[in-house]
Structure 1
């Protein structure tokens, strides 16, 4: 009994001594980056995703930094910037996304893993590209210079990459190139500016991102330019007339009208015209009108002057208002019907009745110098009012008169140069432009003479032809004026 008790005691109270067990030390694998550092270039306002793909991350922590500034540590966002966030596209990716890029985002971004006291990392370079921004001049700027001066305007722009700057001109809606000097890019240089240089100019700045542009307006201060639509206006007592001058200048010129009666060679402008019920002034853009509702006899011996003035000077142009006839227009067909005569028909603008006609003609020679002198014919037309036609253009009234004259004693198969002028109570007109007529080798025989519309004609039909031709000439003259 005592022996068994001893055995049980040792079995219970003495620990079982086992053989020693082998010891194992677990080491984690080294993290491996699956990508290398990249360079990113994106425009301002875009979104970028910086990649960081790591194998064997284990329980290590990824840290994103911009320079030395920590952005995230693991899933914890350290930097308080709502534009930045972590993106896990798959289980090994730990990308950094930055939205609405700004210039402050430019720099180096490091994805770092701490492993056994030795950091492992990759670094990306991010460059935020800046679109061009023109800082000078401002949109819609106005530049004022005097005619003949030099113009120099600089155009400066910011941007990354550095933008290229150029100047262009907009002329009649078309863009013109080549307005910068080679040695001074960004400068608009214009030497001794002329009136034609005024207008819109555009500065344009370009880089790889986009472009920016600014428009300026160049104003040239220049002496007024005055141009009269007509230097001589033919009219008559009681008629309506419109005299117009076109004025250009900067600053906007002030326009005045003057009337000088009598001899136009007399010095001075005469009296300033004050608007009233008979003399009406109006402006339509650059056109300045003086309308006379009822021309007086004194007006018909007057010189009207349109004068424009501004800070740069003054200019003027004169218009003679006269009752004299205009130079006639010969309307006949050059090829005549007869060998020794020619039926001449012409129109003349004259309010007063034509009291005298002067026709001069000479034979044209070919192959050698002209030897013939002018042959003069003067006569007083009769029944001239039969060919009278009233016509109105706008406010201006006109009277056209058609006159016939049969030139005789011509040589057969010959050419003649003819000019005509007429006289009324106010004086003589200028000569008409030269007209070349051709006589036939022999007259048309009686049985082959035809009227204007193909009817058989004898001597009585010549009168019919003349009347028909008169009507035709009047209609033709009116159509020319209309169109």
Structure 2
């Protein structure tokens, strides 16, 4: 006989059971039995019956206990079918468990529930067919100071669940106990859960389109007023399968002809991704006379480094692609090998009253010749451009530089950015840095409706503390500086009505090579 057909409710299941049992009886009647005995010699077995006069029992348990629910019926034959129901849902047939992983077959046709929780509170029924003997078991899990987590309405405390990128996930935490005023507090990987883009509403977390940032250990704590220790806590691990995420911390790699270049690519993926380096559409071999690729783990990410030997101007400059791929998708990062300086990186700033010292770091294997500063008040559209200043020549073969700008400005919120130049050309502008001047101090203000004449530029001396006076106008970010340093303090055809005179000095230092080794 077979009982493999899926059913949706108790009545459908019983109808199929009766049909199958009738077929079984008819099949047996049609077969001759050589061992049959006469009616006078037949032994009449006792039919299944309840062990006691009661057809039900109540079992009490505590959260976390393992509980066996008995089927207290005698004279059960191998030909009988034993069904277990959770209300109307069939959860077991004979010793075959049909639903939850926490349920096992128990002794004497019973079932065993592992690690019970209040979610298991219910009436369970054991039914013996075809005799229609039924035994009911009411399970009551006593409340205590505990919390339990469910994920998408499935009991989840101290378990792991896996989802694919883009799935929707709902976590819920419930407190069990007699305390009042208990607040549910969530954390993810020990930190603030709001930083990961999850929507938290009281005891529930809603995640639309789950991604790599949502993976980790979710902890639920029941914060009981006036109690600082032994607070109820539990957790669930959420594993997310996602396509690769690929990046690089150096989009431009400066070098010079005949030297080498190291290109960096960082990525993470689940499942793990494969990686290839390409120049144009050509795959670069892992090891050759020209190239070497080294893969490692860096700061919890996979890192691949492409080492290019003996840079050639005609064949080696330009764009390189780091391509990653797994079963869910692919991604890439682009890195340029250049002779111009790399984009400066903001390092730090110091503010004293209206005086601000700004520092950037830059890489160039050939000496830096000039630097230019743009700055403006926040929420304005046009940049004010400081004169580009020449600097001392430095020895070849040293690549790390520090750009220092000392600026005295009025109160307000400001943005500043720089770029630098070597013999091959200008770098890209650095990412704008924002700073705020809050301390009130007198400023020189000139109200004019005419274009002010530019002031003379004095090039910096060896005294870094010397403050130089400069006038400045407004220049588009896309404008390219040309000519010598002194001529670059120019005024465009459009100016702010309020012209502010400030004191400033822009200077460039050489750094020891180790200063940028970790950037």
Structure 1 length-normalised TM: 0.40
Larger Rg: 1
Structure 2 length-normalised TM: 0.38
